[in-house]
Amino acid sequence: MDRIVLIGLNHKTAPVEIREKFAVVCVDTSGPLMNLTQMRALRESFYLSTCNRMEVLFTTPRLDEGISAVVGLLADIYGQTGSALKPYLYTYIDQDAVKHLYRVACSLDSMVVGESQILGQIKDAYRQATEAKTSGVILNRLLHKSFSVAKQVRTETRIGSSAVSISYAAVELAKKIFQELQGRTALLIGAGEMAELAAEHLLSNGVERIVVANRTLERALALAKRFNGTTVGWDELAEELRRVDIIVSSTGSPEPILSAEQVKQRMRARRNRPLFFIDIAVPRDIDPEVNRIDNVYLYNIDDLQGIVEMNQAERLKEAARAEHIIAAEALKFDGWLRTLEVVPTIVSLREKAEQVREAEVRKTLSRLESFSEEEVEAIEVLTQSMVKKLLHDPILFLKRTSNRERKDYYLDVARKLFHLDLDRSETEEEEDQLSLDSDKMS
Amino acid sequence: MNESVLLFSVITTLLYAVGTVGFLIYVIRTEKVIHRIAYGFLLAGFVSHTLGLAMLVSQLRQMPVTTLPQTFSLFAWAIVGSYLAFQLKFNIRILGTFVSPLAVVFMLLSSAIPGRVIPNSQLFKSFWLTLHVATMFIGMAIFALAFCAGIMYLLQERQIKSKSFGLLYRRLPSLEVLDSLNYVCLTFGFPLITIGLISGFVYAGAVWQSFWHWDPKEILSVVTWLIYAVLLHERLAVGWRGRRAAIMAIIGFSVILVTFVGTSVILEVHHSFKLG
């Protein structure tokens, strides 16, 4: 029976100097895939590379040969000997490999636990593997399962539901105040990496317009150009409060630049539409008293940091629930893998035929009660021999399959043909395929 | 016939109660399925309630407001009905958690208070009275929703202002949605109670030959109307919103409760559903 192996490295096992080498070399992911297909010890393969990880998943009939071949290939990419690379690599086999893939897909293994990008990256990588035809019966099923496990974890736990960066936390709060950010205007006071990041997040979440204010006009113009916005003079800052909804402030000013009184005066002109201040400057730019005004909300850097920490703690708790789901699903996959052998397939084929036969005989006899014992006996014998004759050729075919090169392929077809995997409906597979296609389009 | 009306009322109360429990569980375990089940029970309760009321109406041949228990039951029906309608439009899942207990309370009040059956009275057979009762009850039910929205707003606003987030932070919708629910309730409820008051006065004028009796219920009704009139005016004129609007909606409904429940139970007035 083929073994499933996963060899890889991630942000926990390898420093960035190593990871970036792979990231650079592997931008063209089809390259390594091509190399993998040329390896004779490998049967199916799948290759994933992101900035934080690199994973090679494959099946092989000869475990040691397969592993050393893949490590050799990775060493070539890295431009080193296999032994120099070894300390950074992890190798998982069979159940452990399945579990690891599920954990990666569910983003439990990510730097930011619960982030959602990784699933898309796996889907992309899988698409490339299917296009290069490197994946087969086992990996197809395994990857599809990893998508559905990730979906299950996402819906049944709250692992991806909370913001774990300051700018995400700010956007999330803004949505709790404004519901949607479409049509809102944000005022960016001062510059700085964090403020610009926040502005970017606001824009990508629907904020329509960015207004920039800066003590130096050049800087203001540059920022406004970057965000496709407009500028406002430093002296008109308070007046601008009539027109904006969200204020991101991060100047280096030693004293507050907006007082509660200045804000309060503008609320009537705003007809009390809410104002949301995000003050990420230290020392603070906005008078803390501003938070006391009706319909005005003020968050400083510590407030946002507090939310981020709270959310991170929540995610870790949810991760424990996700691990449980993954362990259960990995066991199920193992169960399926065991049926992908000649003898279990023949057994379940016979069982299914016998069940059908018994049910049909029972149905017929219950309607016709006039039969004698001998007649009943004759019907039993007749149906039994029919089933036996019908199954004779398929079973002979399956037995010969043992010696074929692509045994798992024939077994898989046979199982599908007779619908022997009850948990696996055709529609389920179609859905998986559809979700893959829809991703491709978007 | 009377027994089947009673049976319907018991079934309705039970369905509402199960729905309420479902909505409370939903606060702790935010799963769509739980919400759907709770909503289903409330809907089933509403259907059974409607059947029970229809039976009562066909029996009485007039609006089912001849006794205090009947009016409470009708009010619970109006609350659940407006909730179901608003839920279709707003789809605020947590709203049921706040509204359904109100329905249960009024159903329980309805069964706890002994109601004297009044001999069929000509007093209740008037177009103006029918209009008065229909608009008043639906208007008050919509204000009950505004009251719930107000409480939800204050809870959510306090969490955002104080930066301490509890269980409800994720469950409650955004301030914007809660405030617009408040506004929509006001724009529907206010015209209804205005029509309700006018038709009430017309009816009183026709029956008692005088529009105004200085009856506490009348005074409080006008006070209620004034509260909502001020809220609507300030919203439109100077853009009152958020916290103030929420508080006004809560005060307004509290006055309604005093008017509706308090005066009916405590005071002996001609409006107290003990008509003599």
- Are A272 and A193 part of one and the same domain? yes
Distance from CA of B179 to the nearest CA of A (A): 10
Chain B CB contacts of A177 below 8 Å:
160, 174-176
CATH label of the domain that carries residue A244: 3.40.50.720
Which tens digit of pLDDT belongs to each residue from B189-235? 999 999 999 998 888 888 877 777 777 888 888 999 999 999 999 99
Q: What is the pLDDT of residue A2?
A: 82
Residue B119 has pLDDT above 70, yes or no: no
CB contact under 8 A, B239 and A270: yes
Given CB atoms, is A291 within the 8 Å cutoff of chain B?
Answer: yes
Q: What is the pLDDT of residue A370?
A: 78
In a domain, A72, yes or no: yes
- Are A213 and A299 part of one and the same domain? yes
CA neighbor of B140 nearest in space, from B261, B247, B244: B261
Which chain A residue's Cα is nearest to B242?
A295
Domain boundaries, chain B: 1-119, 126-276
CB contact under 8 A, A271 and B238: yes
Residues of A annotated as catalytic (active site), given as ranges: 51
Give the mean pLDDT of A285-290.
92
Given CB atoms, is B177 within the 8 Å cutoff of chain A?
Answer: yes
| Total number of domains constituting chain A | 3
Q: Report d(CA A243, CA A226) in Å as an integer.
A: 21
Q: Report d(CA A167, CA A293) in Å as an integer.
A: 24
CB contact under 8 A, B160 and A173: yes
- With beta carbons less than 8 A apart as the criterion, state whether A36 and A73 touch: yes
Residue A441 has pLDDT above 50, yes or no: no
- Are A281 and A401 part of one and the same domain? no
**Torsion on CA atoms A163, A166, A172, A174, rounded to nearest 10:** 180
What are the start-end ranges of the E strands in chain B? none
Q: What is the pLDDT of residue B46?
A: 95
Domain termination residue (choose one: A106, A137, A156): A156
- Cα angle value B144/B149/B154 (rounded, 5°): 125
Chain A CB contacts of B233 below 8 Å:
none
DSSP state letter for A13: T
CB contact under 8 A, A274 and B175: yes
Q: What is the pLDDT of residue B37?
A: 93
Q: Which amino acid is at A381?
A: V
Q: Which amino acid is at A289?
A: E
Which chain B residue's Cα is nearest to A304?
B163
* Helix, strand or coil, per DSSP, at residue A299: strand
Mean pLDDT is lowest, of A205-214, A276-285, B57-66, B253-262, for B57-66
Contact residues for A349 (Cβ-Cβ < 8 A; gap 6+): A391, A394, A395, A398, A414, A418, A420
- Are A13 and A94 part of one and the same domain? yes
- Are A52 and A31 part of one and the same domain? yes
Distance from CA of A176 to the nearest CA of B (A): 4
Q: For residue A105, give its domain range.
A: 3-156
Q: What is the pLDDT of residue A295?
A: 93
Find the distance separating the first CA and the last CA of chain B, reported in whole Å. 25
Chain A CB contacts of B170 below 8 Å:
161
Residue B275 has pLDDT above 50, yes or no: no
Structure-token pair, residue A251: 């100047």
Given CB atoms, is B241 within the 8 Å cutoff of chain A?
Answer: yes
- Cα angle value A14/A16/A18 (rounded, 5°): 60
Map tokens 């619908």 to a residue: A419
**C-alpha to C-alpha distances, A412 to A42, A141, A390, A417, B206, nearest whole angstrom:** 19, 10, 20, 8, 85
Q: Which amino acid is at B195?
A: I
In a domain, A319, yes or no: no
Q: Report d(CA A85, CA B218) in Å as an integer.
A: 88
CB contact under 8 A, B163 and A176: no
In a domain, A327, yes or no: no
Given CB atoms, is A155 within the 8 Å cutoff of chain B?
Answer: no
Give the mean pLDDT of A347-353.
89
Q: Higher model confidence: residue B223 or residue A373?
A: B223
Give the mean pLDDT of B131-138.
91
Residue A406 has pLDDT above 80, yes or no: no
Residues 194-233 of B with CB under 8 A from A: none
CB contact under 8 A, A177 and B238: no
CB contact under 8 A, A177 and B243: no
Which tens digit of pLDDT belongs to each residue from A236-245? 888 999 999 9
Pairing of strands A3-10, A90-93: antiparallel
DSSP state letter for B260: I
Give the mean pLDDT of A373-377.
86
CA neighbor of A436 nearest in space, from A154, A50, A144: A144
Q: Higher model confidence: residue B175 or residue A217?
A: B175
Neighbouring C-beta atoms of residue A246, cutoff 10 Å:
27
In a domain, A360, yes or no: yes
Q: What is the pLDDT of residue A345?
A: 85
- Are A35 and A144 part of one and the same domain? yes
Give the mean pLDDT of A219-246.
90
Q: Report d(CA A213, CA A169) in Å as an integer.
A: 23
In a domain, A291, yes or no: yes
Domain termination residue (choose one: A127, A156, A185): A156
Q: Report d(CA A166, CA A49) in Å as an integer.
A: 27
Given CB atoms, is B116 within the 8 Å cutoff of chain A?
Answer: no
For residue A418, report the phi and psi dihedrals to the nearest 5 degrees: -100, 5
Domain termination residue (choose one: A116, A135, A156): A156
Q: What is the pLDDT of residue A339?
A: 77
In a domain, A85, yes or no: yes
Map tokens 């899942």 to a residue: B93
Q: Higher model confidence: residue A78 or residue A386?
A: A386
Which tens digit of pLDDT belongs to each residue from A122-151? 998 899 888 888 888 889 999 999 999 999
Q: Would you say the C-alpha torsion B75, B81, B87, B90 has a positive or negative sign?
A: negative
Mean pLDDT is lowest, of A8-12, A195-199, B264-268, for B264-268
- Are A193 and A278 part of one and the same domain? yes
Determine the distance from the C-alpha atom of residue A245 to the mean position of all C-alpha atoms in its chain, rounded to a whole number: 34
Which tens digit of pLDDT belongs to each residue from A422-439? 665 554 555 555 555 554
| Sequential DSSP letters for A303-362 | HHHHHHHHHHHHHHHHHHHHHHHHHHHHHHHHHHHHHSSHHHHHHHHHHHHHHHHHHHHH
ipTM score for this prediction = 0.86
CA neighbor of A140 nearest in space, from A432, A442, A414, A437: A432
- Are A107 and A140 part of one and the same domain? yes
Neighbouring C-beta atoms of residue B44, cutoff 10 Å:
16
DSSP bridge partners of A8: A55, A90
- Are A150 and A250 part of one and the same domain? no
- Are A278 and A397 part of one and the same domain? no
Nearest to A179 among B165, B177, B238 (CB): B177
Q: Report d(CA B4, CA B68) in Å as an integer.
A: 19
CB contact under 8 A, A270 and B243: no
In a domain, A331, yes or no: no
Q: What is the pLDDT of residue A371?
A: 79
**C-alpha to C-alpha distances, B64 to A435, B5, B47, B71, nearest whole angstrom:** 55, 12, 17, 7
Q: B174, B240, B243, B244: which to substitute to probe chain A, counting the most A Cβ within 10 Å?
A: B174
Q: Average pLDDT, whole number, for chain A?
A: 85
CB contact under 8 A, A294 and B242: yes
Interface A–B counts its CB contacts (< 8 A) at 52
Nearest to A272 among B161, B165, B242 (CB): B242
Q: Average pLDDT, whole number, for chain B?
A: 86
Structure-token pair, residue A406: 């692509």
In a domain, A161, yes or no: no
Q: How many CA atoms lie within 13 A of A207 on its CB side?
A: 28
DSSP bridge partners of A58: A5, A45
Which tens digit of pLDDT belongs to each residue from B68-98? 788 889 999 999 999 999 998 888 889 999 9
3-state secondary structure chain B: CHHHHHHHHHHHHHHHHHHHHHHHHHHHCCCHHHHHHHHHHHHHHHHHHHHHHHHHHHHHCCCCCCCHHHHHHHHHHHHHHHHHHHHHHHCCCCHHHHHHHHHHHHHHHHHHCCCCCCCCCHHHCCHHHHHHHHHHHHHHHHHHHHHHHHHHHHHHHHHHHHCCCCCHHHHCCCHHHHHHHHHHHHHHHHHHHHHHHHHHHHHHHHHHCCCCCCCHHHHHHHHHHHHHHHHHHHHHHHCCCCHHHHHHHHHHHHHHHHHHHHHHHHCCCCCCCCCC
Q: Report d(CA B11, CA B225) in Å as an integer.
A: 35
Mean pLDDT is lowest, of A289-298, B54-63, B149-158, B224-233, for B54-63
